[in-house]
Structure 1
């Protein structure tokens, strides 16, 4: 094991798995798709796909280690369906093997509802925020952020082109 790998393991508390970026991005996109299904709501969904980013804790230069992040949101729902979507997730996340680590108001002035969950087997994290500002002209939405743990890219991978 290289010194960089030892250092990464010490900083993270686990040995980052060697994994190709497209596989991890596909896995995170799949989780996002399932979460949308579990919400059981219909509305518009933002387009961006999951993408690799620097694993800041061990490799801020984005050369060897990476995480995959997928921020997206669902909006233009009928009134009342926002709370239905959050309630569905409160019920289904534990049924689907996720552990809810927070379910309460965000630490902001508005105190919007927030659910944070972790998948104990894969270590993916999920943050859901119902942004219901109540301010005229602002779009009400559920913001979703799916994150992977840190992985090590296979030897020869150029993460800036992955």
Structure 2
């Protein structure tokens, strides 16, 4: 995600309540789940609310949704990240980072943004764990609550 002036600030995602924005974020996570394209299970973690840096925390917020995907068998993870690198752009995402991280395990990382939806996602393939998985973090742009409504924190 980039903002309109290219300064790197978090883009505005519009006006919405925290709860509605969390529902929308979980829907975006579900769309990414569908693109994974292999059998497995997702963790049952809910979305959370965080502040927008430099903005009034009573009026502005971001939604983050961390979750994990566990394949039915570890060997199914082979090729998933390459498939996501190809499939995400077909659905409005722009891959901005793809490669091995500097950890001991050299995990494969993919970061993508969707300017139209005002979301970004970071996906880490943790192949060398006792239970191999994909670790995902979906983050929204900066929402503003409607007039007269307070940011709900959860």
Instruction: Tell me which protein shows more strand as a share of its residues.
Output: 2
- How many residues were matched structurally? 148
Say whether 1:82 aligns with 2:86: no
**Bigger Cα Rg:** 1
**Bigger share in helix:** 1
Structure-1-length-normalised TM-score: 0.79
Q: Scaled by the length of structure 2, what TM-score is found?
A: 0.83
Residue 45, structure 1, aligned to residue 42, structure 2 = yes
Matched with 2:120 is 125
What aligned pairs does 1:80-159 form with structure 2 within 5 A after superposition?
80-134=75-129, 138-159=130-151
* Deviations 1:85-144 (CA, angstroms, capped at 9, x unpaired): 22221121011111000110123232200000000212210100001235xxx3211001
Q: Which residue of 2 aligns with 1:36?
A: 33
RMSD of equivalent CA atoms: 2.3
Give the Cα–Cα distance (whole angstroms) in 1 for the partners of residues 53 and 44 of structure 2: 25
> Which protein, 1 or 2, shows the higher relative CO under an 8 Å CA cutoff with sep ≥ 6?
2
How far does residue 154 in structure 1 lie from its aligned partner after superposition? 1.4
CA contact (8 A) 2:13 2:140 kept: no
Contact kept in structure 2, 1:41 and 1:81, CA below 8 Å: yes
Q: Is the 8 A contact 1:65 1:152 kept in 2?
A: yes
Q: Distance in 2 between matches of 1:118 and 1:13?
A: 12
Cα pair distance change 1:33/1:106, threshold 3 Å: same
Greater shift in the superposed pair: 82-91 or 63-72: 82-91
Please list every run of 5 or more consecutive structure 1 residues that lacks an aligned counterpart in the other structure. Answer: 1-9
